[in-house]
Amino acid sequence: MNISTTDKEIANYLQEELERSQNGLEMIPSENFVSEAVLDALGSIGTNKYSEGYPGKRYYGGCQVVDKIELLAIERAKQAFNVDHANVQPYSGSPANLAVYYALLDPGDTVLGANLSFGGHMTHGLKVNFSGTLYNAVNYTAKKDGYLDFNEIRSLALKHKPKLIIAGFTAYPRIIDWQKFRDIADEVGAFFLADIAHIAGLIIGEEHPSPCRIADVITTTTHKTLRGPRGAMILSNGKVSNPIKKVPRTKENIPTLIDRAIIPGLQGGPHNHTTAAIAVALSEALKPEFKNYAKQIVLNAKALAKSMIDEGLELVTGGTDNHLMIADLSNLNVSGKDAEHNLDEIGITVNKNTVPFDSRSPFDPSGIRLGTPALTSRGMKEDDMKLIGQLIARLVKNINDNNIKEEIKKQVLELTNKYPLYPGIKYN
């Protein structure tokens, strides 16, 4: 039996979500569409097995097959990112970052990360997050133009002497200079964490420089531009010395410290179906065509940014180098919350987002964040991005005109019908 006969309510909701995705433009830059092979692995028999520990060192019997799955995922991760060690067990991105804190710091230690309102993540030192309550979080911001201010970052590091410096962003549209962060970390004797959750796929596809031989430790989710399931990985260099024995907090011991932080430190059994799906996604990312995909993400983002600018919209930093952009709607007297809501009504999904030095509340900010990974996965190209930029601009300029909204909604549906999504899947 399948879900359509055993649980019609859930089947109907899944079908509804499939149709929403098919008939809309998914433009939240942290979202993507996985392959049907990844979906197969994620819904596989791997979900049944409990396997606390690591391959060859489990607390449960019967792990000989899931050991093979995890080892394959590890080897593919090491190859994809050119690292010596990969832990593929973190349940998601936030737990992965928590594991790095747990491995390298004591509660109360100082951490230097990006302010959430300037493109950081809540696990980089937000005061209401574990990273800002258990640790002494210091946040850097940006210059007025939205670019990173390395003079400020260095000044804060020299003043506060953090034990961990974090680079990596959820809403930064430009290339990250990893070496500058490395130099600052070395100057103050800090560990350097690169959080590449958003740009992992671009790094594999060689569309963004890699921090993997620069940073001490790297965290990433496996969805977003990597186009895998919702999971995470922690990458580092060196070898695990003894995952059972406690070791000093040195750079050489980071692989051991990370493994101990995941299990027994923070997690129980890994999600083996997710590990299998991560392995599939990494296999896809290692194929030559993935580079074409990553390149097209950036080409599409640049085309979309140009279209929006040509239509009179203002973008933070004036454009993008990667998969995302932030539109500042202040000059149109439209809030990000209203823009998100009204775009959603016509089938364009973005998210409200703060802009640098935003005068509005984070719950109703001045901007919207949007990107191209999911649209690129559907096969869309630059001409499509030009049209989408025009549709977005027309909507936000005429946000209270229902007739125009209906016209745009029809155009969105015409465009999405050209790019079928999972045509072989049906839930009810």
- Residue 391 — φ and ψ, nearest 5°? -65, -40
Average pLDDT of every residue of the chain: 96
Cα 204 to Cα 309: distance, rounded to the nearest angstrom:
29
Tokens of 221: 């989710």
List the one residue out of 15, 27, 17 whose CA is nearest residue 412: 27
Q: Give the model confidence (pLDDT) of 132-143 as tens digits.
A: 999 999 999 999
Domain with CATH 3.90.1150.10 in the chain: 291-416
pLDDT in tens, 348-366: 999 999 999 988 988 899 9
**What CATH architecture is 291-416?**
Alpha-Beta Complex (3.90)
pLDDT at 240: 81
Q: Where in the chain is the domain with CATH 3.40.640.10?
A: 40-285
**Both structure tokens of 417:** 């019908």
Element (H, E) at 86: strand 85-87
Residue 2 has what pLDDT?
86
User: 3-state DSSP helix/strand/coil percent for the chain, to nearest 5?
Assistant: 50, 15, 40
Contact 129, 93 (CB under 8 A): no
Quote the percentage of the chain above a pLDDT of 70.
Answer: 99
Q: Contact, 381 vs 296, CB < 8 A? A: yes
- Report in angstroms the alpha-carbon separations of 358 from 101, 174, 241: 29, 19, 47
pLDDT given at position 235: 98
40-285 placed in CATH 3.90.1580.10: no
Mean pLDDT within 35-52: 97
Question: Token pair of 254, please?
Answer: 């980071």
Q: Order of strands across the sheet with 314-315?
A: 314-315, 324-328, 367-371, 351-353
Tally Cβ neighbours within 10 Å of residue 130. Answer: 16
Residues whose CB falls within 8 Å of the CB of residue 363, separated by 6 or more in sequence, listed in order: 337
Q: In this predicted structure, what is the pLDDT of residue 1?
A: 61
Catalytically active residues, by annotation: 50, 52, 195, 221, 224, 230
**Per-residue pLDDT for 87 more than 90?**
yes
Q: Contact, 290 vs 205, CB < 8 A?
A: yes
pLDDT at 218 over 90: yes
Q: Residue 179 CB: number of other CB atoms within 10 A?
A: 11
CA dist 399 to 361, 368, 391, Å?
Answer: 20, 14, 12
pLDDT in tens, 302-317: 999 999 999 999 999 9
Instruction: Determine how many CB atoms are found less than 10 A away from the CB of residue 189.
Output: 10
What is the CB neighbour count within 10 angstroms for residue 309? 17
**Mean pLDDT, range 310-327, rounded to an integer:** 97
The pTM assigned to this predicted structure is 0.96
Assigned token pair, 388: 């989408």
- Is residue 339's pLDDT more than 80? yes
